[in-house]
Amino acid sequence: MLDSGRPRRPASKSPEDPPIDLNAAVEPIVGAAVVGLGIAVLILLVLILFLARQTGRLRHRLDSLTRGTSGKNLDDVLDAHVDKVYAVARELDELSARAAVLEAVGRRSIQRIGLVRFNPFEDTGGNQSFALALMDARGTGFVVSSLHTRTGTRVYAKGITDGRAEGALSEEEREALRIALEAPAPAPADPDRQRGRVAGPA
C-alpha cells in the first residue's frame, strides 16, 4: 500500500540551455568562403570567355557554309550539297559508260602501223614501192603493197586476222607485219580509276 502520509519532493528544474551565437560560429569560415566564391566566379568567367570564343568560331564556320545561300539554314545547305554530290556521281557513271563504249570502239580502230619501203626492180630509181601493215589492237587489219615500175604501179591488199595473214606474204610484207605487231598497243583504261569510286544514291 502506498504511504499517502509522506510529503512529495518537488520536481527538480533543469537548467536553461545557453543561447547559440551564430556570428561567433560563422566568423572563422567567412574569409575562406569569400575566397572560395571568388575563385569559383573567376573560373566561371574563364569558362564563359572560352565558350564565347568557341561559339564565335562555330558561327564563323556556319556563315562560311551558308554563304550565298539566301539565308537558308544549315540543313538546307547540307541537303543541297548532298544533292550536288549525287548529281556528280551520276554524271561520272554516265561518263564511265561512254568511255567504256569509246574504248571498245577505239580498240577496233587502226592502232598499229608498219611501213617498209623497197625497190623491187633495178631499172627504177629510189624506194618508191612499199608494204604497209595497218591493224587494230588485236592484230586484225590488212597489208597493202604497192609495186612501182616504169610502166605503172600495182597495188595489192591482204587481210590479217589476229596477226596472221590470209595468204602468202612477201618478205617486205612480213617485215611490215612484224613492225606493226611489235608496236605497243594502248593499255585499256581502268574503269575504277575513271569513275573515282564516288558513291551515288542507292
Chain segment 10-34, per-residue pLDDT in tens: 555 555 666 666 677 677 777 788 8
Give residue 76's pLDDT band: very low, low, confident or very high (50, 70, 90).
Answer: confident
Q: In the predicted model, what is the mean pLDDT of residues 84-111?
A: 89
What cell was used for 21? Answer: 551565437
pLDDT value at residue 88:
94
Q: How is the beta sheet containing 164-165 ordered, strand by strand?
A: 112-118, 129-135, 141-148, 153-161, 164-165
Q: Round to whole Å and give the CA distance between 144 and 172.
A: 11
Tens of pLDDT, residue by residue over 148-186, are 888 888 999 999 999 898 889 999 999 999 999 998 766
CB 185 within 8 A of CB 112: yes
Q: What angle do CA 42, 43, 48 make, to 5 degrees?
A: 95
The answer on pLDDT for 199 being more than 80 is no
The packing angle between helices 22-65 and 74-106, to 10°, is: 40
Give the mean pLDDT of the chain. Answer: 80
Pair 118, 127: CB distance under 8 Å: yes
- DSSP letter, residue 134: E
Q: Are 67 and 80 in contact (CB under 8 A)?
A: no
Q: What is the pLDDT of residue 126?
A: 78
pLDDT for residue 198 is more than 70: no
